[in-house]
Structure 1
């Protein structure tokens, strides 16, 4: 029995994540994402236009080019989604139909996927199956899939653990170590060590921040940063706007908590905000609607903004637009496309980092310039990452002791720092640590 690995997407760019593991004559796919910078060019907020064909989307580099595994497609037994971010699941509506297999994800991931499919008017033939953390499912006689809960910047993220006769394949793209998460369980280091003792043949791991010589701080630190800005800054006579990742339910929860301490009416605006919050509420994870008015509809948003303009100091808005996306709520406020006149006292809190892609950087620079022209007070980088940094990777490798390591989630400049670390720890480039490009297939021996 042989094992092969195909890097389909996310190995020459940040996003568009997809790979396939072939064990004997059986294949498991991990992730099926889209490339957000290209998506931003094609659409308003967070869903791809449906009038483009599958091959057109591939040619535009919106979704991964999976033609490289055409011969493997009849052998695929499962599509595995380890969390709900669109650079990991956004390709599902346009790609999954070619695979005669179920799709596995946590309750939250599947709920978000159902929402995307409903919004796009797409019906898949694939069965959507919930597999929550600490559970496993037998895919075939030789392959069992297990999920291990891991903290990330969205709920119910997991390590994907594929049990094979050749050893464990561990897919960790994306997650972080966190001993004090706001939602979900903390990192189980003991179980990671147990997995290492069972024998890990391959670790595929997000290398996005492997160049950062640090340990990624807990989400609790981000909560304290947010608390400091919201509760310890002069804000008696002004509107407060907080913008963050719509899928970052823990961050939104913290924002609501502090807004209540300020006795502010909480208004949440934006289609993607509504999508991710509704998914979390549908599975009983949170109940934000008891404390906040949530809307995605233009007429309701405009009506609320007229109310807010009369007395801004009574309100706090949580909205889309942290990356300066062209049709996001914050961008439309800044360009007066929505009816609110900023005052120099108003505050905008960016509880995020800028995603390091040229279009995101350019959009944020333009947005910030517009807000500064209005005299708005900006609070940036009120955030901690959802990804491992270099010293976290060091600990992960020590715990799992994988035979092979494949860095994921980036081009060669992002993947190389993790490979360099692995070499320092005794791995050999192109033999036991592999920096791949989209479309490459290697044997795992």
Structure 2
């Protein structure tokens, strides 16, 4: 019985994650994500992607090309989702229906997926099987699936472990080693060390987004303290106060909400994705900071609220989408006069995020910032801590797990090469037990 891994997608770029792991004659798919950049590029240049077929979405690079595992189609026993970010789950609506198998993930991950499917009016034949982190489920006589708690930048994230008679495959896309998360899981070090000590890990698929970043990624608690300093030690009297961050980062939103309340401001969350992620967290009882907080998605209610905030700006703090300057986001629509709010001199916008380093995002943020500057808005940027492991975290992670083989993923060539060189420092050898795969390639153990 062999183990074979197909790097379906996400091994030559950041995003569009999908892997397939074949054990004997059975296959587990992990993640089905979109390329947000490819979708945005097509939207900007051609307008609208809703009319595109699945093959057309594949051809423009928006979703994984699962035609590369067409010969495995009837062998798939489960689709497993590691966490609820769009670059890991948002292609499920296009691809999952062809596989006669359940979709497995933590309750929050499946909750976000359910919300996406509802918004897009998609019904899938697949059964949804919620699985709590730090538990296992038997897939077949030869395969057992385990989700292992890990910190990242949304709720209920998990590493995926596939146990088989030939060894264990660990899929670590995405994670950070945060010992003081503001909300949610710490990494389950005890379980990771048990697996490492057992010398049973055949291969580790490990993310590379921060593979070129020296040192250790700071805790989410560091970002909380940065946000606290900006919000509570800046003179905001009489001014509009906006915080923009990733809608999925519930821990960051928790911090912002709590500091907004300390300023005696009414806190309002505005944006479609803000509504999706936060209402899911609320419905599952995963966060307790929503008392007195308004959550508004889109439509006439959003316009009405922004008109009210425009008249009483010193009474509110708005947490909203648009941290990347994305066209169509709330912040973008405000600065382009498509929503009824006007920034005045001295108003405050806090970017509790980093700019994702792709050309479109950089250009969008520059354009957004130029308009805010023209309006003499005070900007506080990079009030943030990454959700991704940096170089020394990855080193510690590899030392903990002691995998026989390492497959860098979730990155471009520079990022993946950086992790490969790190592994070489640790005694691994390129092409022998470090494998730099391109999308569509397979490797057998």
How many angstroms apart in 1 are the aligned matches of 2:221 and 2:324?
23
How many angstroms apart in 2 are the aligned matches of 1:122 and 1:187?
34
How many angstroms apart in 1 are the aligned matches of 2:97 and 2:303?
39
Does residue 164 of structure 2 align to residue 168 of structure 1?
A: no
Moved more, 179-188 or 66-75: 179-188
How many angstroms apart in 2 are the aligned matches of 1:42 and 1:117?
21
User: 1:439 is matched with which residue?
Assistant: 440
Off by >6 Å, runs of 4+ in structure 1 = none
1:43 offset after TM fit, Å?
5.2
User: 1:342 is matched with which residue?
Assistant: 343
Secondary structure, aligned partner of 1:201: strand
Does residue 215 of structure 2 align to residue 228 of structure 1?
A: no
Moved more, 152-161 or 179-188: 179-188
TM-score (norm 2): 0.97
Relative to structure 1, the CA distance from residue 396 to residue 289 in structure 2 (aligned partners, 3 Å threshold; closer, same or farther) is closer
How many angstroms apart in 2 are the aligned matches of 1:129 and 1:42?
33
Q: Please tell me whether the aligned partners of residues 50 and 120 of structure 1 are also in contact (alpha carbons under 8 angstroms).
A: no
Q: Please tell me whether the aligned partners of residues 237 and 345 of structure 1 are also in contact (alpha carbons under 8 angstroms).
A: no
1:234 offset after TM fit, Å?
1.1
How many angstroms apart in 1 are the aligned matches of 2:131 and 2:49?
29
User: 1:309 is matched with which residue?
Assistant: 310
Give matches, 1:366-405, under 5 Å.
Answer: 366-405=367-406
Secondary structure, aligned partner of 2:108: helix
Secondary structure, aligned partner of 2:61: coil
Give matches, 1:63-82, under 5 Å.
Answer: 63-82=63-82
Runs of at least 5 residues in structure 2 that lack an aligned partner in the other structure: none
How many angstroms apart in 2 are the aligned matches of 1:431 and 1:4?
16
1:63 offset after TM fit, Å?
0.3
User: 1:357 is matched with which residue?
Assistant: 358
Query: C-alpha offsets along residues 146-203 of structure 1, whole Å, 9 cap, x if unaligned?
Result: 0111011000000101111111110010011011001123223232111112211010
TM-score (norm 1): 0.97
Query: C-alpha offsets along residues 298-346 of structure 1, whole Å, 9 cap, x if unaligned?
Result: 2112211221122211110001100111000001111111111211110
1:369 offset after TM fit, Å?
0.7
User: 2:202 is matched with which residue?
Assistant: 201
Q: Please tell me whether the aligned partners of residues 246 and 276 of structure 1 are also in contact (alpha carbons under 8 angstroms).
A: yes
How many angstroms apart in 2 are the aligned matches of 1:421 and 1:398?
11
How many angstroms apart in 2 are the aligned matches of 1:437 and 1:195?
28
1:291 offset after TM fit, Å?
2.1
Does residue 213 of structure 2 align to residue 212 of structure 1?
A: yes
Q: Please tell me whether the aligned partners of residues 156 and 185 of structure 2 are also in contact (alpha carbons under 8 angstroms).
A: no
How many angstroms apart in 2 are the aligned matches of 1:393 and 1:197?
18
Secondary structure, aligned partner of 2:285: coil
User: 2:282 is matched with which residue?
Assistant: 281
Secondary structure, aligned partner of 2:295: strand
How many angstroms apart in 2 are the aligned matches of 1:399 and 1:268?
40
How many angstroms apart in 2 are the aligned matches of 1:388 and 1:286?
24
State how many pairs are aligned. 441
- Report the aligned-residue RMSD: 1.2
Q: Please tell me whether the aligned partners of residues 142 and 165 of structure 2 are also in contact (alpha carbons under 8 angstroms).
A: yes
